[in-house]
Structure 1
Amino acid sequence: MDSQSLTRRAAPCTKPTVRKEWRSFSVAEKTEYFKAFKCLTTKPHDQRLAPSPPTPGVPVNASASLFDDMVYIHMSAIFLPFHRWFLNTVEQRLRSDCGYKGPLGYWDWTRDASNGIQKFSIFDGNRQYGLGSLGRASNNFVVTDGAWAGQQLVYPSLHTIKRNFTTTPFREGRMQPEFAITKPNMNVNDAVKASAVDAVIKGNKGDFAKFYNQFDILEGFHSGVHFSMGGDMGDTSYSPNDPLFFLHHGMLDRVWALWQNQHPSNKKAFSGGSTWALQSPEAWKTYGPAGMPPNIGPTARIPNIGFGDSVTVADILDIKGGYLCYEYK
């Protein structure tokens, strides 16, 4: 992949792929989307995956699938750049390994906030193209319908996906540390409403750290969707086990792209710390989600633990910059 990645990085982006909102997918597109993800689960482990050291207590499983590899690499402190790289890497493997020709998707949860995100038709039980329903306590919250039902997942241990939904994830001990939570009674549907997202997109001109601190407050739309869903989505390390992850993070990447397009000074802005600031209330109050020193900038390399292209933050700041070549519809 190295020579191909260098070619893509140098080439102009003249025909960007289009990422679409999930409800605009046709039934045929949804079906092909899931066929491609299921295809990844039939492909063997990529031997280039070589974390050093491995995740504590969870060594790389050599009998895992290529999809499981994707789940394993999902850990980084360079949050937005890493996830932009990660989604692009997944897209390239869907295309190169499984012949997928359709779009990646995103879930615009702002459109569902007024009725409740848990009521959105995305939770479809169809075995060919549905994301599956929310789990039930009577079945230990295992998702038993939809196209991903019954799929065996390796990390952190062998299981099938679970969802344990709540509208009030901020007060139920799902998010740690609790000292960072200042609005425990907030409803997740308030966290994802359009006005909350617009405030993030339209503020903090030219200042990525301030933008990110507003983007990723614990009682915000990123954490809110993850922890309201619970189950696999509530495990921040292994949340890609649930296909809902990719639609959620497609939306998060879109929010970042919308902020970047708000002002020229936003386009290449990137700054922040390289260490999580959750060691103490004082650290969190001082630095917030953007992290503690030592600080990093656009020259920072995105960790890939030997898997996929080795790129810097600067390589992925422009979604139509050459290495990346996509847009949101």
Structure 2
Amino acid sequence: MQSLVFLLALSVASASLIPRTSPNLPSSAFPKFHTLSQSDAEAGKDLPEGFNTSAPHTNALNAAATVVTAAEAACSASPNMRFEWRQYSGSDRLAFIAGIKCLMNKPPSGNFPPSTSRYEDFVRLHQLDMPNVHGNPKFLAWHRYYLWTFEQVMRDECGFDRAWPWWDETLDAGKFAQSDMFTNTAYFGHLPPPDANGNGYCIESGAFAGLTCHIGPGSSNTPHCLSRAVDETQTAQCNTGFVNYCNSRTSYSDMESCAEGGPHAYGHDGIGAVMSDVSASPSDPIFWMHHSFVDHGFRIWQNADVADRTTSINGNDHNGNPLTMDTMVSVGGIRPDVRIGDIMNTLGGVSIGGVPFCYRYTY
């Protein structure tokens, strides 16, 4: 009964998300992600010549890595599960979509101007932090916390009370547009190919039909429609072989470079238009599903050597400073700043603002 009331309430709230008319910007307006082909990754072309990425930067946390804390034990005994979209019930899917629309209908906090909604607070945060959290090994850790923060805000401010979803893109590689996430009009809206000029189309179907994006493209903030322009030759690169190759790299920074420029970047550019905007791609709600896929790959890499890969990190941040487990990660005050060491283990159970950082994927 409680879940039914939740859905009805959000359905009423989401009804106020009235489609609006806004410009459809050309594809050239969106600064695209830099991609790394699998063959170039295998040739090591993404790795700076002479840069030693084999030895992780560690700190005192590693010395105590074999000690299981009470928080970790409690989390491991009963973690929050993230269910792959195909395992997610119809009711859960609708609740997830309604939760996103709820945030779109909430006023902005005022801390991220010119955001026009609580949802766009997150888009603006990503835009502001883009140089610091892309193109360097901080990418995976920051986006893990960013995704978790979005989840917590949707729970706290919109009453979302279901498990969180993730998208196994390897099962849809080369055929994203055929996923029911895009073909079912109750979900994210269609995923059309580009027009004759290579430009995207405004999304006029699904739960986000007619959505106006106020953040982006790039570092500008020009109102534009939510648009897409699928390129299935690029989505095909989100395949199992590429993911597995990236995860075969034993150094965190080596793996991160492959994952960021490989399946991550191809997924963004493959969906195209707004999702290909490096700075403001969260304007497209499918962003959260894509980054659940990216975080899943990160966690699978960690699972191959949990003792080491959840307690150490290497590589340098955007400013050239070595990453350590004490390096801070910030989400602009939406949730507390945390150490990388607090979020490196998704089963660590570290309390963040009174909420345990605790989840695992269904597979």
Question: TM exceeds 0.5?
Answer: yes
Whole-angstrom CA distance in 2 between matches of 1:25 and 1:131: 18
Tell me the SS of whatever aligns to 1:137.
coil
- Once residues 109 and 10 of structure 1 are traced to their aligned partners in structure 2, the CA distance between those partners, rounded to angstroms, is 32
Q: 1:203-222: CA deviations, max 9, x gaps?
A: 233x2112212222x3x111
Superposed, which structure 2 residues align to 1:1-329 within 5 Å?
A: 12-13=74-75, 14-47=77-110, 49=111, 60-61=113-114, 64-74=116-126, 75=129, 76-77=132-133, 78-113=138-173, 116-126=175-185, 128-134=186-192, 137=195, 140-156=200-216, 157-168=222-233, 187-189=234-236, 191-201=237-247, 203-205=248-250, 207-216=251-260, 218=261, 220-263=262-305, 264-275=307-318, 293-323=320-350, 324-329=357-362
Structure 1 vs Structure 2: percent identity of aligned residues?
A: 27
**Structure 2: which amino acid aligns with 1:204?**
R
Alignment TM-score, normalising by the size of structure 2: 0.69
Closer, same or farther in 2 for the Cα pair 1:18/1:131, shift >3 Å? Answer: farther
1:33 Cα deviation after fit: 0.6
Aligned partners of 2:231, 2:344: CA distance in 1, in Å?
Answer: 34
Unmatched segments (≥5 aa) in structure 2: 1-69, 217-221, 351-356
TM-score (norm 1): 0.75
Structure 1 gaps of 5+ residues are 1-8, 51-59, 169-186, 276-291
What are the Cα deviations for residues 176-198 of structure 1, in whole angstroms up to 9, with x where unaligned? xxxxxxxxxxx541x22212212
Higher relative contact order (Cα pairs below 8 Å, separated by 6+ residues): 2
Q: Could you tell me which amino acid in structure 2 is paired with residue 129 of structure 1?
A: Y
* Cα pair distance change 1:130/1:235, threshold 3 Å: closer
Question: 3-state DSSP class of the match of 1:18?
Answer: strand
Q: Which amino acid aligns with 1:73?
A: L
The residue type paired with residue 122 of structure 1 is M
Residue deviations 1:56-114, cap 9 Å, x none? xxxx226x11000011111342211111111111110111000001122221111123x
Q: Note closer, same or farther for the CA distance 1:70–1:135 as it changes in structure 2 (3 Å cut).
A: farther
Contact 1:21 1:105 in 2 (8 A): yes
Change (3 A) 1:313 1:152: same
Q: Say if 2:149 and 2:334, in contact at 8 Å, map to a contact too.
A: no
Whether the 8 Å CA contact 1:125–1:145 is kept in 2: the answer is: no
- How many residue pairs match? The answer is 269
Aligned residues: CA RMSD: 2.3
Give the Cα separation in 2 of the matches to 1:269 and 1:211.
14
